[in-house]
Structures are given as C-alpha cells and as structure tokens.
Amino acid sequence: MIPLPTAPRARLRSAALALLLFLVAGVVACGKDTDAPADGGPVQLSVFWYGNQRRAELTEQALQAYTRRHPGVTFRVTWQGSDGYYQRLATQSAGGNPPDLFQLDEDYLTEYAQRQIALDLTEFVDRRRIDLTRLSPSLVQSGTVNGRVMAVAAAENTPALVYNRGLLRRLHLREPNPDMTYDQYVSWARQVTVRSGGRVAGTMDPSADIRALWVWLRAGGLEFYRGRQLGFTADDLARWFEFWQDARTSRATPAAAVVQAANSGDPARQLVVTGRAAASFAWSQQLTELQRNTRDELALAGLPGAANAQWARASMYWAAYRGTRHADTVADVINFLTNDPQAGRILGDERGLSANLDIRQAVQSSLGDRAARLSATFETAMAERFGPAPPPPPPGQARIRALLRTAAERAESGRATGRTAAADFVEQANTALSG
C-alpha cells in the first residue's frame, strides 16, 4: 500500500497576507453597515463574478427574476474570466468602489473575512434572512471562518476521477472503482498502458494537484492545514512525490512533459480528453465540459483511498461587501440565489450542484445533458460517504497552490528528487504563510 503520512513534527509560523489586501483593509474599515429593505427602493446592487459566457447569461437571468419580484431592486453586473479576477476585486475595494455582492472561492475566503472586506452574514443567518437549513452541515461549515458565516456556498462540487469508458471497453479492461487503494489504482493504470501498447498511459500524475494531495493526507489522519500553518511534514510530501515517481517509472503515468501540459487544470488540456491518459483527476462538475472535448464516452469514479477523506466542498461562494449600504437587500439576494426554486432551475448545475438539497434533487431530475446527469448522480452518491469538512484554508492558499505545482514539476522532471522538492516546498510555504 502507499505509505500513509506521518504526524507533523513542528508547527510553522503564522500566516500573513498580501500587501494589496492590507491596503484594502484600511478602506473597508471606513465602510457602513446600513441596509435597505429587500422590497424597498430604488436600490441598485453591483454584482461581480468570474466565469464563462454561459455562467454570465444564467446568473443575469436569475438576477432578473429577483428584480421581477422586487421591482425596486436592480443590478449592475460585471463579470470576467478567472485570470486577473482577484486582482481586479482587490483593486476595486482599495479604490473605494467594491461590488455589493461578489463571488469568492476557498483560496480567498479567509483573507477577505479576516481583512473585514466580506460582510459577516451571521446575523442574517440567525434571523433566517439567509436560510441555510437545507444545506449540508459540511457545506455551511465551509463558509464559516472563526465561527462566523462569512459566505454562502453557491454550489457544491467533488473531486473525481474522470475516465475514458469508451477506451476501456475497446481494451477490454474493467473500470476504476471508488474502493481501490492507491496501489490498486496504479496497478490498474499500468494494465491500461500495457494493453494499449504504450499509446495511452493509465492515469494522469496528480502530484501537483492540491485536491488529490489533501484527500490523501486526510486518509492518513492529517489535514493540509492546521490552523494557520501546514498540517504535514516534508517527509509526508516526499512520500507523495516518490509514489508518483514510481508510477511514472512503471509507465502507469505519461512522461513529465505530457503531465505538466495538463497541470494548469484547463479542461481542454486534460489528458483524458487529449488521449494521453485513460483517467484524469478533476472536479466532477467538469465532466460536461470535458465530454465536449472528446468523442469517447467519459465517466466518473471516486478518488482512490478512503472515501470519507473527501468532504462536501463549495465550488465557490457568494459574499457581500462589508461596506455596502444595502446589507439587508444583499442578504435577501443571497437567500434567493440559494433557496429559491426558480433561481435553482435557472442556474442549474453551471457552478456545480445546488447547495440547497431540495433544489438539487429537483434540478437533477431535469438535467438534459447525459454528462450533467451523470455528474449529479455521482455527487449525490458520494455525499453518503463524505467525512466532515475542514475549516476554510488560511490566507495564502493561492500562493501555496503555485508552490506545490512548482515543487511537483521539479520532481516530475527529475530536476530535483522528491525529497528535495518536498523540503523546498515546506520551507517556501512556511515563508509564504508567515510573511
């Protein structure tokens, strides 16, 4: 079996934040927490999110549905791709012109909460202005920082193996299953490589993937973070890198150059759709987009190892600006996007499965796309096996992601041993988290 991680030997120094967010804090401190009735007006709320054209169209439709019910409330919307989104959001806040309602992901939630950029929503949850009773406890926990509700999950998503079912049928090989150990999974992947005559490797190498590493750590009783520091040692990470180095040597994974082309996470570059591997590590909700990039039939399986090492993850969150003049109205819009059946039908599964369990069930039955239905069915089945959610990551996770990718690629390419790359990562991560 793959060696499980050992307990951390030392605590790292506490986390600090980027200079730009430091400047933002000064501006936010001057903001007001006044509000306006949800049905009052006229009120215009600014809304900002990242995503593609389809997300923009559906989100605007949902906001228009809110306006039809509350004619006094209109929206000024702005959206863009993910690249540069957080730089623009921080610049807007520092310049005193932040959006009233904006989209966050787990990399930045704690930063925006601790710098008091995001509005504390606890009061609205306590008063049921934002109703979270139909969200799973883990999903509610994922938006809670230091006991305060700082954001609400816009949807739920789950890490998964996306595999080429059509290829496996042609090779007369069994499909992966969620009860495989990592050793069994790599053994299965070697069979794919051999049976295909080396034309297709069995699996993507996920050593640079923070999702896969985090789940593996939890299977060994660890977390990626312990408070504001790493929750594992260089020895733990070295075992992870060395395991995948062995998989590469046995040809269960492709060459390093092929793997690194897919490390960005761009769906179009995933090896399961470029034909370079039979399986990739991805988000289950990405199945629809991945399927568009290949003629072969794709399917989903759980990650190798203990299923309860996974948890209900928010694909992204809705958060409000602490200085908004319309806090009560913003809270009502968040509640609408979270709990209203019409909003749920409009938004569908574009950001992931609805955070509201009732709406999720209703939307799941109406999905027209095969891949979307398969993704919804998979996530619903996995929910029964989830473990508890960890707290949101500390400030600096975006930097930690980048450092992990650099360290993993050094190990993948042989520019450093797994042990050296791991030691360098831990040192650099310590610096990034401690400032």
Domain boundaries, given as residue ranges, for the chain: 31-156+314-372, 159-309+396-434
What residues contact residue 59 under an 8 Å CB cut-off, 6+ apart? 47, 49, 51, 77, 79, 347
pLDDT for 11: 35
Q: What is the pLDDT of residues 299-313, one digit of tens each?
A: 999 999 988 999 989
Q: How far apart are CA 125 and CA 338, in angstroms?
A: 12
What does the radius of gyration of the chain's CA atoms come to, in whole angstroms?
22
State the architecture of 31-156+314-372 in CATH terms. 3-Layer(aba) Sandwich (3.40)
Are 31-156+314-372 and 159-309+396-434 equal in CATH topology? yes
Tell me the CA distances in angstroms from 25 to 22, 61, 432, one per residue in order: 5, 33, 20
Query: What is the token pair recorded at 98?
Result: 């932040």
pLDDT for 188: 98
DSSP output for 247-288 = HHHTTSS--HHHHHTTTT--GGG-HHHHTSBSEEEEEGGGHH
pLDDT for 26: 38
pLDDT by residue, tens only, the chain of 435 residues: 454 444 443 333 333 333 333 333 333 333 333 344 454 569 999 999 999 999 999 999 999 999 999 999 999 999 999 999 999 999 998 888 889 999 999 999 999 999 899 999 999 999 999 999 999 998 999 999 999 999 999 999 989 999 999 999 999 999 998 889 999 999 999 999 999 999 999 999 999 999 999 999 999 999 999 888 899 999 999 999 999 999 999 999 999 999 999 998 888 899 999 999 999 999 998 999 999 999 999 999 999 998 899 998 999 999 999 999 999 999 999 999 999 999 999 998 889 889 999 998 888 777 767 888 888 889 888 888 899 889 999 999 999 999 999 999 999 999 999 999 999 999 999 889 986
For CA atoms 344, 349, 355, 361, the dihedral sign is positive
pLDDT for 367: 75
State the architecture of 159-309+396-434 in CATH terms. 3-Layer(aba) Sandwich (3.40)
Q: Look at the chain and count its residues.
A: 435
pLDDT for 41: 62
pLDDT for 435: 65
pLDDT for 344: 94
What residues contact residue 282 under an 8 Å CB cut-off, 6+ apart? 159, 160, 161, 162, 265, 267, 270, 272, 290
Identify the burial level of 237 via C-beta atoms within 10 angstroms of its C-beta, where 0-12 means exposed, 13-18 middle and 19 or more buried: buried
Q: Classify 298 as helix, strand or coil.
A: strand
Q: How far apart are CA 3 and CA 7, in angstroms?
A: 13
Q: Classify 329 as helix, strand or coil.
A: helix
pLDDT for 16: 33
Q: How far apart are CA 254 and CA 176, in angstroms?
A: 18
Q: How far apart are CA 276 and CA 257, in angstroms?
A: 11
> For 141, phi and psi rounded to 5 degrees?
-60, -35
